Structure 1
């Protein structure tokens, strides 16, 4: 099955350790991971940020005063998905360590997760929706060569 087209803007904020995160996220990998999660063509901006910017955005847009792993700002879903994905590098790094995953593996998961949110998937509406989204994420990540992100 051919993959959908993606116009990607990949941005890195200024934060301690940004170079290490940039090294894990070459454009071709980020593009591949996102394209595998797309049901249609897309224009997506991915921004990797530090804790301060992540917390500020989460507080401003979700009214939660802490940095979270990924924020998805979806603007349109048809005919082309347009969205911004903001990933907080320190949170991603901490979670990867806690879950005994490589940084690359966790970034791949969070990019797939955010891309699904940009297309209307939601794990907070019901347990059934959460299970369906997790199963789809797992299938996509396994197709990409990664382990089940929810297996402990």
Structure 2
């Protein structure tokens, strides 16, 4: 994961998830959003560090990555607010606790 994060984002550290949107010029499968690469070790570590249930944290990180594939981001406060609010809504709809206080 560290290698992928450095290669594609220029960050020389591991991360919990990377999202790779589908090439927009691919015409074969319009339902394909892209790829998610999840790091089990980081997700498990974060779950312990932040005292979150492991299943809930896996769900949250997967939702977070999928939202990136759909075009959401958190590069500024406005984007972060929108994305976090949507993550909370999705998590609640799946009977998990809200990951953010928004």
Q: Indicate the TM-score class for this superposition, using the shorter chain for normalisation.
A: 0.7 to 0.9
Alignment equivalent of 2:49, drawn from 79, 98, 117: 98
Is 1:118 matched up with 2:69? yes
Higher relative contact order (CA 8 A, sep 6+): 1
Shift in Å at residue 81 of structure 1? 3.9
Matched, 1:89 2:37: no
Distance 1:76 1:120 in 2: 13
Whose strand proportion is higher, 1 or 2?
Answer: 1
Counterpart for residue 143 of structure 1: 93
Return structure 1 stretches of 4+ with deviation > 3 angstroms: 76-79
Is 1:128 equivalent to 2:83 in the alignment? no
Is the contact made by 1:81 and 1:119 (CA closer than 8 Å) also made in structure 2?
Answer: no
Q: For 1:52-92, what per-residue CA distance to the aligned partner results, in whole angstroms no more than 9, with x for missing partners?
A: xx111111111111110110000157942421101111110
Superposed CA deviations along residues 66-124 of structure 1, whole A, max 9, x for unmatched, are 11011000015794242110111111011111111111110000000000000100111
User: Under a length normalisation based on structure 1, what TM-score does the superposition of the two structures give?
Assistant: 0.60
Is the 1:81–1:118 Cα contact (8 Å) retained in structure 2? no
Could you list the runs of 5+ residues in structure 2 that have no partner in the other structure?
none
Report the number of matched residues. Answer: 97
Q: Which residue of 2 aligns with 1:61?
A: 8
